Amino acid sequence: MPVIFANAPGKIILFGEHAVVYGQPAIAIPVNQLKATARVMPNPLGQPGDIRIQAPQIQLDASLADLPVDHPIAAAVRLAFQAASINQPPAFTLQISSTIPISGGMGSSAAVSIAILRALTNFFGKPLTADQISALAYTVEEIHHGTPSGIDNNVIAHQKPVVYRRDQPIEFLSVKQPTHWVIGDTGETTPTHETVADVRQHFQANPKRFSTFFEQIGDISRQAQPGLIDGDLPLLGRLMDQNQCLLEKMGVSSPTLEHLIQAARMAGAVGAKLSGGGRGGNMIALAPSENAAEIKAALIDAGAKQVFTTILTKGRES
Ligand code: PMV
C-alpha cells in the first residue's frame, strides 16, 4: 500500500463571529497558504490494529490504543474507521503536521481533523464528500469547543468562501472583484470555548442587549455579501469597523488586538477587526491593493508575531 497524504487549509472569518453561534450569518474564507497535513504510512510488519500517531508540534508520539477516546486526534481517526466501515485496520503510522497557528482563530483544529479524515478514508479506498467530511469534523470540533457553530469545518472542508448560517444549507460566495486582506497574529491566545462561554454568560445575564448585538452583526454579514462579490472597499471597510465596535462591546476584543487594528487603519487599511474567538488570536484588515505591503510592515512594527496576506479572488482564495 502506498503512503497517502491529504491537506486541509486554514481559514479566517471576515464577518459574524460569535453572532454565528446564535443563528446569525457569518462569512469565512479558506487561507490556502496555511495547511494541515496528514500522512498515512502503512506498516506491513506490524500487527493489525497497531496504529502509531505522531504529531511532533504537540509532542505527541503514541499508540492510538493509549489515547483517551475524547482525544481530538484519536476521535478523528476512529470516526474515519467508522465512516470507511473498517473494523480491523491494518498497521500504519499517521503523521500530522500543520503550518496553521494553534488557537489563533485560523481553524487549526478543524483543519487537522479534516486532513486526518481525508487521508484515512482515501487510504481505505472510501473517499467522502466535502459535506460528509465536514459533518464528521464537526463532531471532533465539539470535543475542542463544546458548542461550535460549524463554520470552521464547513469552510475548510469545502475550501471555498462561504456564508454560513447554523442549520441552513451552506452558501458559496462567487467573487467578481478581488480583495486583499492582511492578517496579523497577536501571539496571544484565549481558547475559543472560553470566549464563547463568556459571551453566553453575558447573553444570559442581559439577553436583550446581547440579542441586539447579534442581530446587528447578522445585518453586517448580510450587507457584506454583495460588497465582497463586487469588491466594494468603502462599504466593506465601514462594515468591518462596525463589526469590531460590536465585538468590543461584547467584551471579546483586547488591547493587543486593538493596537494592531489601529496600526492597520493608520497604514491605510479601509477597515479592520478581530477575527475568530477574540481576546488574542488574529485581526484582519482590508487593504487597498497598493497598500497591502505597507499594512503588513505596519503590523510587524506594531508587534504582530506573524502576518499573512491573502487575496479573495473569483470563486476562490489564493
Ligand atoms: O476562534 P475560531 O476561529 O475557531 O472562531 C470562533 C468563531 C466563533 O464564532 C467565536 C465560535 C464558533 O463556533 O463559530
The residue annotated as part of the active site, out of 66, 70, 131, 152, is 152
Using the mean position of ligand 1's atoms as its centre, give its distance from the Cα of residue 17 in Å.
6
Q: Is residue 10 part of a domain?
A: yes
Which triple of cell numbers denotes residue 248? Answer: 468590543
Q: What is the pTM of this model?
A: 0.94
Boundary (domain end) residue, out of 114, 143, 164 = 164
Is pLDDT above 70 for 119? Answer: yes
Instruction: Give the list of residues 6+ apart from residue 30 with CB closer than 8 angstroms, or none.
Output: 9, 10, 11, 155, 156, 159, 160, 161, 317
Q: Residue 236 is part of a domain; what is its CATH number?
A: 3.30.70.890
Instruction: Give the list of residues 6+ apart from residue 168 with CB closer than 8 angstroms, or none.
Output: none
- When pLDDT is cut at 50, 70 and 90, the band that residue 72 belongs to is very high
Same domain, 71 and 123: yes
Same domain, 154 and 179: no
Same domain, 18 and 137: yes
pLDDT of residue 315: 52
Same domain, 33 and 152: yes
Ligand 1 pocket residue status of 277, Cβ below 6 Å: yes
Same domain, 86 and 150: yes
Buried-state track 171-183, b at ≥16 Cβ within 10 A, e below 16: eebebeeebbbbb
Round the CA-based radius of gyration of the chain to a whole number and report it: 20
| Residue-wise pLDDT tens digits, 14-65 | 999 999 999 999 999 999 989 999 999 999 999 999 999 999 999 999 999 9
Its domain, for residue 296, covers 174-317
- When pLDDT is cut at 50, 70 and 90, the band that residue 145 belongs to is confident
Told to judge if 152 belongs to the known catalytic residues of this protein, a careful annotator would answer: yes
Element (H, E) at 240: helix 233-249
| Residue-wise pLDDT tens digits, 195-247 | 999 999 999 999 999 999 999 999 999 999 999 999 999 999 999 999 999 99
Residues 130, 157 contacting (CB under 8 angstroms): yes
Please choose, from the candidates 56, 37, 106, the residue with its C-alpha nearest in 3D space to the C-alpha of residue 306.
Answer: 106
pLDDT of residue 295: 98
Q: Is residue 169 part of a domain?
A: no
User: How many domains does one find in the chain?
Assistant: 2
Bridge partners of residue 287, in order along the sequence: 180
Using the mean position of ligand 1's atoms as its centre, give its distance from the Cα of residue 300 in Å.
25
Quote the CA–CA distance of 49 and 64 in Å, as a whole number: 9
Ligand 1 pocket residue status of 151, Cβ below 6 Å: yes
Ligand 1 pocket residue status of 282, Cβ below 6 Å: no
Q: Is residue 218 part of a domain?
A: yes
Same domain, 91 and 19: yes
Same domain, 238 and 313: yes
Quote the CA–CA distance of 301 and 279 in Å, as a whole number: 20
Bridge partners of residue 48, in order along the sequence: none
Is pLDDT above 50 for 90? Answer: yes
Is pLDDT above 50 for 317? Answer: no
Using the mean position of ligand 1's atoms as its centre, give its distance from the Cα of residue 84 in Å.
29
| Residue-wise pLDDT tens digits, 248-305 | 999 999 999 999 999 999 999 999 999 999 999 999 999 998 999 999 999 999 999 9
Residues 92-118 have a mean pLDDT of 93
**Which of 29, 100, 192 is the pocket-test mutation for ligand 1 (most atoms within 8 Å of CB)?**
192
**Which of 152, 221, 246 is the pocket-test mutation for ligand 1 (most atoms within 8 Å of CB)?**
152
- When pLDDT is cut at 50, 70 and 90, the band that residue 137 belongs to is very high
pLDDT of residue 102: 82
Q: Residue 57 is part of a domain; what is its CATH number?
A: 3.30.230.10
Same domain, 179 and 267: yes
- DSSP secondary structure letter of residue 138: H
Same domain, 185 and 121: no
Same domain, 183 and 142: no
- Please count the residues of the chain: 318
Ligand 1 pocket residue status of 217, Cβ below 6 Å: no
Please choose, from the candidates 139, 68, 72, the residue with its C-alpha nearest in 3D space to the C-alpha of residue 103.
Answer: 72
Same domain, 308 and 194: yes
Residues 34, 106 contacting (CB under 8 angstroms): yes
Ligand 1 pocket residue status of 10, Cβ below 6 Å: no
